[in-house]
């Protein structure tokens, strides 16, 4: 197999800038390139699809629609939770990110949208739901994953260890 283009099962290093509505939200500038394992849902699907087949050194502008990015904004993805369900000593703040597990053990991220003395309103939309994502990317390296990375389905950055 030819391993000098971006394809599933290779670790891709890339420089990137992410802009939404003309505002830069995230960039690898002044940081090491971002690494991801292609084919394992490590980055938004619309970006990964456009990167398949790119060579080292190649740059591209990619526009990703919400459905291929962080999802459409869902008006129904809100939930009201009694204030009493939160620990007394927890300071509840608007915008706070929470990890919520349901009865089946499914884990989801939510943000506190608003609250009063009785109720906390949670927003399960991703902060970038509904946004058109504008990426400028450059492929800077490609390599084979280690067997452990392949098993886990993600990249282990140098110096980063976990179980
Ligand atoms: Zn791992």
Going from the Cα of 160 to the center of ligand 1, the distance in angstroms, rounded, reads 9
148 Cα: distance to centroid of ligand 1 (angstroms):
7
**Residues 42, 46, 49, CA angle at the centre, nearest 5°?**
80
CA of residue 89 relative to chain centroid, distance: 30
Q: What is the pLDDT of residue 1?
A: 58
Whole-prediction pTM value?
0.81
Going from the Cα of 11 to the center of ligand 1, the distance in angstroms, rounded, reads 13
Q: How far is the CA of 140 from the centre of ligand 1 (A)?
A: 22
CA of 79 to the centre of ligand 1 (A): 32
Q: Which CATH architecture describes the domain 78-123?
A: Beta Barrel (2.40)
Residue 156, classed as helix, strand or coil, is coil
Ligand 1 centroid–CA 12 distance in Å is 16
Which pLDDT score is estimated for 162?
A: 63
Displacement of CA 91 from its chain's centroid (Å): 26
- Sequence-separated (6 or more) residues with CB below 8 Å from residue 134: 18, 19, 20, 61, 62, 63, 64
CA 56 to ligand 1 center in whole angstroms: 25
Tens digit of each residue's pLDDT (9 = 90 or more) over 74-94:
999 999 999 998 888 888 999
Classify domain 11-70+129-152 by CATH architecture. Answer: Roll (3.10)
**What one-character DSSP code corresponds to residue 50?**
H
pLDDT in tens, 95-140: 999 988 878 888 889 999 999 999 999 999 999 999 999 999 999 9
pLDDT of residue 159: 58
Domain ranges of the chain: 11-70+129-152, 78-123
Distance 161 CA to ligand 1 centre (A): 8
């Amino acid at each position: 197999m030819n391993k000098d283009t971006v394809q599933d099962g290779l670790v891709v290093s890339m420089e990137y800038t992410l802009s939404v509505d003309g505002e830069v939200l995230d960039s690898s500038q002044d940081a090491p390139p971002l690494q991801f394992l292609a084919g394992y849902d490590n980055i938004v699907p619309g970006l990964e699809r456009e990167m398949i087949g790119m060579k080292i050194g190649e740059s591209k502008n990619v526009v990703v629609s919400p459905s291929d990015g962080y999802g459409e904004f869902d008006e129904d993805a809100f939930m009201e939770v009694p204030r009493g369900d939160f620990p007394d000593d927890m300071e509840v703040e608007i915008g706070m990110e929470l990890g919520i597990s349901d009865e089946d053990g499914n884990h989801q991220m939510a943000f506190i949208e608003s609250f009063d003395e009785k109720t906390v309103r949670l927003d399960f939309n991703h902060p970038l739901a509904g946004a058109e994502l504008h990426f400028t990317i450059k492929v800077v390296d490609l390599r084979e994953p280690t067997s452990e990375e392949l098993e886990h389905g993600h990249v282990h950055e140098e110096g980063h260890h976990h179980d």
